[in-house]
Amino acid sequence: MTKILILGATSPIARALALRFASDGARLYLAARDGDEARRVAEDVSVRAGVTALSGTFDASDFASHDEFIRHAAGRLGGLDGVVVCFGTLGDEDAAQTDPGAALATIHQNFTGAVSLITLAARHLEQQLSGFIIVIGSVAGERGRARNYVYGSAKGALAIFAQGLRGRLAASGVHVMTVKLGTVDTRMTWGREGAILTISPAKAADLIYAAYRRRAEVVYTPWFWRFIMGAIRLIPESRFKRLSF
């Protein structure tokens, strides 16, 4: 039985992924900042998949608590075979562009908190010479845009971190997959641009799970974002900085 820790388990994509893993027989520990909601998600997954899903809490910005949290989760699961990193927030971009505190809060929730938790989980997986880490990021990290560069910079840094980690762990039998999400229909993206390219959380979870099963390394979700972002990267900086999209 595969033992999986899902971080940010109350997000719509994480909920859908949890059900897919559970339906495939995995034992899950679902963790989020809101412990009550994490417990409700675990109960729902347990009923629908016919397995027992555990739940707990963590704070991405409370770095001192991360080591004990990873140890506790692995202990409750009876081991640890995989970690899925689903948490993050758009934050208040307007405030983050002028307030260092707001900027750092966005960075901690999207990058440094993930780095801390992934590093601790990776150490555990590396020691046992097996396992996987799925890092769910965003196409926003492909290039800095004036309207969301604080969030985008955190997601871009996370992708680079995952890329380096993938290389370091390759010889240890630990697989690292980076997911670059396009626009998904969630509360976090409601009312924002790009609705014509939006997919549902359930569809995103299906695509991510299929990529995990085939051991993909970097996957754009949906696939067409690979070509969209490839075209965007080719735009000269002198022109790109004047674009409003």
Query: What parts of the chain have a pLDDT lower than 50?
Result: 189-192, 194
pLDDT in tens, 221-233: 999 999 999 999 9
What class does CATH assign to 3-240? alpha beta
pLDDT value, residue 244: 64
Q: What are phi and psi of 40, to 5 degrees?
A: -65, -40
Helix or strand or coil: residue 1?
coil
Reading the block at residue 140, the tokens are 């926003």
Catalytic residues, by residue number, are: 151
Q: 């990873």: which residue's tokens? A: 70
pLDDT value, residue 190: 45
pLDDT value, residue 197: 77
What is the rounded radius of gyration, in angstroms, for the C-alpha atoms of the chain?
18
Q: How far is CA 123 from the centre of its chain?
A: 18
